[in-house]
Amino acid sequence: MEAFPRNRTKNPRSIKTSYRHDFFDTKNLVHASDVIYKFRKEISEKIKLSLINISTGEPLKVVDHIGCHYAKIFPQEGIGGAEYPYVLAGLIDEWGGQQVDYPERRHCCGFGFRQYLLKSNRSYSVTNSKKKLDSMLPYKPDLIIANCPGCTYFLDRWQYVIAEMQEKTYGENGYGIPVLTYEELAGLLLGYNPWDIGLQTHQVAVEPLLDKLGIEYDPDKKYKGRNGEDIGLPENPKVLRCC
């Protein structure tokens, strides 16, 4: 099946495809993270918390990870281009955090589609993520934010895998480095309950980050559904601390 069917009409306002869908041109097509970036100042006026460690008063150290689909495929379209993308760094600056720069800041998260979707290639995926995590480790970041759900998933999941394989962790006191999407971070700072926005589904525990931000949470409700039903406890890993 072709990624881009050839039976297109010449009308630039409508594209007919063999998938029985019509696609219409738009004058303003943006990535969802561009929208949050555009309204970062308006969000800043409404947030209940800033990216500040309440115990030390110091800005939290935040790694921004830009998905390859955003910065590298269409570098001329992304805010800041491929080498110096600012779409997430702008959120860090606006919301009171400190950007973390390190050698592999622009390195791939490790997903790479074919690197993971083919089981025989998954060692490439985890190796890419490990290279990136090893590079940021000396800078002791408090948080990683990403603008791609795949990047978020793999930078989160592979920390668990690396801990199981090599007994190595990247956060403080045996924890990992929490990995959030820009939507999740905005939700936390706006006062949303961390369990209502699904942070209990992350394999790296978010509690150390919540404690630094001064966010109150009920540990007994972490694995409760919307109506209070028990959604089940995950199996505890052998090395990575999760609670």
Measured distance CA(90)–CA(108) in Å, rounded: 20
3-class DSSP assignment, residue 63: strand
Q: Minimum mean pLDDT among 33-47, 187-201, 215-229: which range? A: 215-229
Q: Which CATH architecture has domain 30-221?
A: 3-Layer(aba) Sandwich (3.40)
Measured distance CA(141)–CA(121) in Å, rounded: 29
Give the pLDDT band (50/70/90) at residue 96.
very high
Please check whether residue 178 is in contact with residue 143, taking contact to mean a CB–CB distance below 8 angstroms: yes
From residue 34, give the alpha-carbon distance in Å to each of 97, 150, 182.
19, 18, 10
pLDDT of residue 166: 95
pLDDT > 90 fraction of the chain, expressed in percent and rounded: 65
- Per-residue pLDDT, averaged over 214-226, amounts to 92
Helix (H) or strand (E) holding 227: none
* pTM of this structure: 0.86
* pLDDT tens digits, 154-168: 999 999 999 999 999
Measured distance CA(207)–CA(139) in Å, rounded: 20
Which token pair is 203?
A: 């394999």
pLDDT of residue 5: 34
